[in-house]
């Protein structure tokens, strides 16, 4: 088991294996995204209260879901970096921070677009919105901290600690609508009943879009990590062989 674990932490192994995964992920993402977008735009019925505004949900919910997943991912990678000193874990954590910041920004923007016609305002200091904004600033803080410290080892340790601490905010975001009286609606109860407000014609395309956006996130993280591997391992012979092969 430990041999497998350490092999997974090899930048060379990850670079080679991820190159084989990417074509399949591209196909899967394209199929899921195409089906999800067409279904959400053309076949999902209007909501009896929100009308066509509900279609924003098919972007907002998947993006918000990814933004919540980034900090736990960074925290796990941070623990692996601190305990087992794996370079790949630090590379993944470094690449996940800006991607997570972008997803959080899009979640905030789409939430504001969705909230304006429903709440009558673009922004409210609601518990869910405020905690999500805090997460955005924490991600920016992780990026800034890594850039501010010159020593790579010190930068990795400091960023890992901040990611671990910042992950505490994730359950606050998740349960804020239950712990406090907020404008943000609680989690919806999906049903197999077609007559329900959240029947299969509503939640099935949402699930498809969630998987599609997760594929997009994984592809973005893999590509960014592969670039980081080439940058850090540029003196390794296997990287020089790859570069030499691309120049031919």
What does the pLDDT average to over 109-133? 90
The chain-wide mean pLDDT, for the chain, equals: 89
Assigned token pair, 34: 């195409």
User: 5 pLDDT exceeds 70?
Assistant: no
Does the residue 108 lie in any domain? yes
Query: What residues make up the domain containing 63?
Result: 55-200
* Residue 2 reports pLDDT greater than 70: no
Exposed/middle/buried for residue 61 (C-beta within 10 Å: 0-12, 13-18, 19+): buried
Check residue 47 and report its DSSP letter: B
* Dist CA 31 CA 37 (whole Å): 10
* Alpha helices, H only, the chain: 2-8, 11-38, 57-84, 87-119, 127-148, 152-166, 169-179, 200-232, 237-247
51: left (phi over 0), alpha (psi -120 to 50) or beta: left
Q: Residue 83 to residues 8, 86, 87, 213: CA-CA distances in angstroms?
A: 15, 8, 11, 31
More confident residue, 93 or 176: 93
Tens-place pLDDT, residues 39-84:
999 998 887 777 888 899 999 999 999 999 999 999 999 999 999 9
Residue 79 counted as domain residue: yes
Q: Say if 62 falls within a structural domain.
A: yes
- Residue 228 pLDDT greater than 60, yes or no: yes
Give percent of the chain with pLDDT exceeding 70.
91
Residue 206 in any domain: the answer is no
With 90 as the cut, is the pLDDT of residue 245 above it? no
CA neighbor of 49 nearest in space, from 202, 162, 175: 202
* Domain count across the chain: 1
What per-residue confidence (pLDDT) applies to 9?
A: 78
Rg (CA), the chain: 20
The pLDDT value given to residue 244:
82
- Residue 113 falls within a domain, yes or no? yes
- 3 lies in a domain? no
Mean pLDDT of 21-41: 97
Measured distance CA(76)–CA(93) in Å, rounded: 9
Specify if 78 maps to a domain. Answer: yes
Whether the predicted pLDDT of 35 surpasses 90: yes
Alpha-carbon distance of 194 to 156, in angstroms, equals 50
| Chain segment 167-214, per-residue pLDDT in tens | 999 999 988 888 887 777 776 655 555 555 567 888 899 999 999 999
| Tokens of residue 163, six digits | 């990611």
pLDDT reading at 34 higher than 80: yes
21 in a structural domain: no
């Amino acid at each position: 088991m430990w041999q497998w674990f350490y092999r997974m932490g090899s930048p060379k192994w990850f670079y080679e294996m991820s190159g084989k995964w990417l074509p399949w992920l591209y196909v899967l993402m394209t199929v899921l995204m195409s089906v999800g977008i067409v279904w959400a735009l053309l076949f999902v019925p209007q909501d009896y209260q929100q009308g066509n505004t509900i279609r924003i949900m098919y972007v907002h919910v998947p993006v918000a879901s990814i933004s919540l997943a980034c900090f736990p991912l960074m925290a796990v990678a941070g623990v692996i970096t601190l305990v087992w000193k794996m370079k790949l874990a630090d590379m993944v954590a470094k690449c996940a921070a800006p991607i997570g910041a972008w997803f959080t920004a899009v979640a905030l923007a789409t939430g504001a677009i969705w909230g304006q016609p429903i709440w009558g305002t673009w922004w409210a200091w609601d518990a869910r919105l405020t905690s999500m904004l805090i997460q955005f600033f924490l991600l920016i803080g992780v990026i800034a901290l890594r850039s501010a410290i010159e020593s790579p080892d010190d930068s990795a340790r400091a960023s890992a600690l901040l990611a671990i601490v910042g992950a505490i905010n994730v359950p606050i975001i998740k349960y804020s609508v239950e712990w406090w009286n907020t404008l943000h609606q609680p989690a919806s109860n999906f049903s197999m009943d077609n007559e329900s407000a959240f029947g299969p014609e509503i939640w099935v395309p949402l699930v498809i879009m969630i998987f599609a956006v997760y594929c997009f996130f994984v592809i973005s993280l893999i590509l960014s990590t592969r670039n980081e591997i080439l940058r850090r391992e540029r003196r390794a012979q296997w990287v020089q062989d790859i570069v030499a092969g691309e120049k031919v």
